[in-house]
Structure 1
């Protein structure tokens, strides 16, 4: 428990620093974090007996994030023509492998990019909602705080009142009482944020909080389903007492694209 608390403390400090230290630190940090998450995903898949094209997948994941992040600083659309060439390397690499299930390997290679890279692209884009030259840390900061508030509220409410299983087949410990506790605590965090950061109204902050709670919980269940399908408990051991990076960011995987879509439509 002590190790878990110490790891959690430093994890929160690093995450807050990544958002508050400016646009360049923000972009570089999430470029590196995305690469590590993708590497962790491929490692898990290999433990499950599949052989995704890890090298070409990591290169493509890195370049895809780098390309879209660069759009926030300068027009880089002309470089988009390099992406099809790079993505074709995944197929070429698979051609030279002697494996019984090449398309399963291809599927897991692209699934890694979809699951571990695309969500962080949307999260990164939240900081540039007002244009490429207007970095704003408030929305990604609020996202992280509300995501953590949801996890904390769900844990505390689940322990105190949890009776009805939410989705026992994939996550035996999650309960409906814990889910609603997470929604309430996250909504309270959103309401508090609305008093300090007025980019969004209090109704919009609370709506974002509810979306994070709903789709963050769904992302957690999806990651649990994935781990159970390959018979592993944690996605890794990089965070002592907390498991792997995918374990810490499972709530972001589905919530970030949904929240970005909501913010995009209300701002346009």
Structure 2
């Protein structure tokens, strides 16, 4: 428990520091976290039948991350982001020469890893630039709401939890915990406009609902992934907390949807 608490404290300090140290640190740090999550994904899905093309997948993700970062920081025209497409084509072509029995299993897991584990972090990076210039308070608010949702779900579930939310995938989650998490996320979001500005109060509240609902679903999806593969944690980079996928499971589904919502309303 002490190890978990210490790791959690420094984990939060590092994340907040990366957010507040400027656009370059923010972009590079969370792009690297996405690459780390992708590396974990390839590690846990690898088996005799499924061997993702990890090197090519990571190279493709690096190219995509670099192009997105260049677009955000350097104002590179968005059309150049599509230059990552040739790296995806190489994944298919290389599979022709590997003589594997189920090559499309390998291709599928390679591409799924990029979509599931890496691209959501690029949407999170894009949240920092959605107003046109770098603004760390939107992604910071996102993380605060996400942590509030987790805290509310834990406290409400522990105190009032009776009705299982999705017992087949996560036996400990309850509807009471889910509702408690969303409510605390909304309460916290109502105060962010006062301290962070940038978004209107109703926008922060909508962001909280999206994070509360889809953050929980993201947690369940990651649990489904681990259960289907027979693993307890996605990695061990964070002592007492598991891997990067374990810590950012709520972000994986929520970040793209929050970005889409803010893109539509602003």
Alignment of 1:231-250 (within 5 A): 231-250=230-249
Partner of 1:176: 175
Q: How many pairs are equivalent?
A: 265
The answer to whether the 8 A contact 2:64-2:81 is kept is: no
Task: Say whether residues 1:196 and 2:189 are aligned partners.
Answer: no
Between the aligned partners of 1:49 and 1:173, the Cα distance in structure 2 is 32
Partner of 1:24: 24
Unaligned runs of 5+ in 1: none
Between the aligned partners of 1:191 and 1:81, the Cα distance in structure 2 is 38
TM-score normalised according to structure 1 size:
0.95
The answer to whether the 8 A contact 2:31-2:122 is kept is: no
Match of 2:198, SS state, is coil
Between the aligned partners of 2:151 and 2:127, the Cα distance in structure 1 is 23
Between the aligned partners of 1:199 and 1:81, the Cα distance in structure 2 is 30
Partner of 1:128: 129
Between the aligned partners of 2:83 and 2:251, the Cα distance in structure 1 is 28
The answer to whether the 8 A contact 2:233-2:242 is kept is: yes
Partner of 1:67: 67
Between the aligned partners of 2:197 and 2:18, the Cα distance in structure 1 is 22
Match of 2:248, SS state, is helix
**Cα shift readout 1:176-212 (whole Å, capped 9, x = no counterpart):** 0000110111111101112112221212111111110
The answer to whether the 8 A contact 2:49-2:102 is kept is: no
The answer to whether the 8 A contact 2:60-2:87 is kept is: yes
- 47-56 vs 19-28, which moves further: 47-56
1:239 Cα deviation (Å)? Answer: 0.5
Match of 2:183, SS state, is helix
TM-score normalised according to structure 2 size:
0.96
Between the aligned partners of 2:51 and 2:61, the Cα distance in structure 1 is 17
- 19-28 vs 188-197, which moves further: 188-197
Between the aligned partners of 2:229 and 2:188, the Cα distance in structure 1 is 36
Unaligned runs of 5+ in 2: none
- 50-59 vs 30-39, which moves further: 30-39
Cα pair distance change 1:77/1:256, threshold 3 Å: closer
